[in-house]
C-alpha cells in the first residue's frame, strides 16, 4: 500500500491510497510506503510535459505559469536524479 499526495495534479489536500495495479503519476509525493514502478511515459508525453509545452508557446508569462514551470523543472530534476 502507498499513500501519495497528488495535489500538484488534482488539488486534493489529503493523501490518496494506492494499491498494486493502480497508477501513480509524476508529480505525486510519497507520504508513506514504497513501490516498484514501471515508467510508461517521459518528457513531453507526460501531464507535466504537455503543460510545459503549452506554456512555452505563449508570449506572456504570468505568475501561474512561472510557478508551473518551476514545479515541472523541480519534478523533472528529481526524476532525472533518481534515474542516474
pLDDT band at 82 (very low <50, low <70, confident <90, very high): low
List the chain domain ranges.
Answer: 1-38, 41-84
pLDDT of residue 17 exceeding 90? yes
Q: Where are the alpha helices (DSSP H) in the chain?
A: 7-10, 47-56, 63-83
CA dist 36 and 48 (Å) reads 21
72 contact partners, CB below 8 Å, separation of at least 6: 48, 49, 51, 52
Can you give the pTM of this predicted structure?
Answer: 0.49
pLDDT tens sequence across 19-31: 988 888 777 888 8
Highest mean pLDDT among 6-10, 17-21, 66-70: 17-21
CA dist 26 and 67 (Å) reads 17
Buried-exposed string 42-57: b where 16+ CB fall within 10 A, e elsewhere: eeeebebbebbeebee
pLDDT of residue 59 exceeding 80? no
Amino acid at each position: 500500500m502507498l499513500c501519495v499526495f497528488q495535489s500538484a495534479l488534482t488539488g486534493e489536500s489529503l493523501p490518496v491510497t494506492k494499491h498494486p495495479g493502480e497508477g501513480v503519476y509524476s508529480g505525486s509525493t510519497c507520504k508513506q510506503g514504497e513501490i516498484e514502478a514501471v515508467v510508461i511515459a517521459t518528457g513531453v508525453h507526460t501531464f507535466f510535459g504537455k503543460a510545459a509545452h503549452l506554456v512555452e508557446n505563449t508570449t506572456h508569462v504570468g505568475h501561474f505559469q512561472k510557478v508551473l514551470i518551476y514545479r515541472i523543472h523541480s519534478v523533472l530534476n528529481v526524476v532525472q536524479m533518481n534515474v542516474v
